[in-house]
Amino acid sequence: MVDITNVAELKATLNKLNEYAEPVWGKMTPQHAIEHLTTTLPIATGKREMKQVTTPEEALAFKARLIGTMEPFARGIKSVMMGDEPPAYLHPNLQSAKDELLKEVEEFNALVSKNPTGNAVHPRMGQLSWEEWTRFFNKHFTHHFTQFDIIK
């Protein structure tokens, strides 16, 4: 599983991904996947505020299914942030998307170090602690990295 607190390992894994990689499943290109991962980090750091779209009961059930187990995310799981088709690119190329992802990861890790008891709202799972956000990111990154077969 990916560990977003290990930035050196994360960089090495990202270096395995190129713009020609074909997904094992799904419609995303490598750049779409990296940009999608990047857009989730500012939610945790508070730079991008999102409202909870679930009831408290739904949030608890979703949290239990998504981060309450070691099971990988299901292939084809839908994000509340995306439609049925991948959006337009946000960056001119994959490398700039990777650079932005690493910057956001480093900001998240720095925030956790400064304020270990912090938390933020996830749109489906509600209020998450930093530990829960880290678990979510580790599983989310793992999900998309296995989508492109850059980790096993």
On whether the CB atoms of residues 67 and 125 are closer than 8 A, the answer is yes
3-state secondary structure of 91: coil
- Fill in the amino acid letter for 111: L
Helices (H), 15-120: 30-45, 56-66, 94-114
Mean pLDDT of 59-72: 94
pLDDT tens readout for residues 27-58: 999 999 999 999 999 999 999 988 999 999 99
Question: What residue ranges do the domains of the chain occupy?
Answer: 7-72+89-116+128-147
Query: Which has more pLDDT, 86 or 88?
Result: 88
Six token digits for residue 110: 């720095």
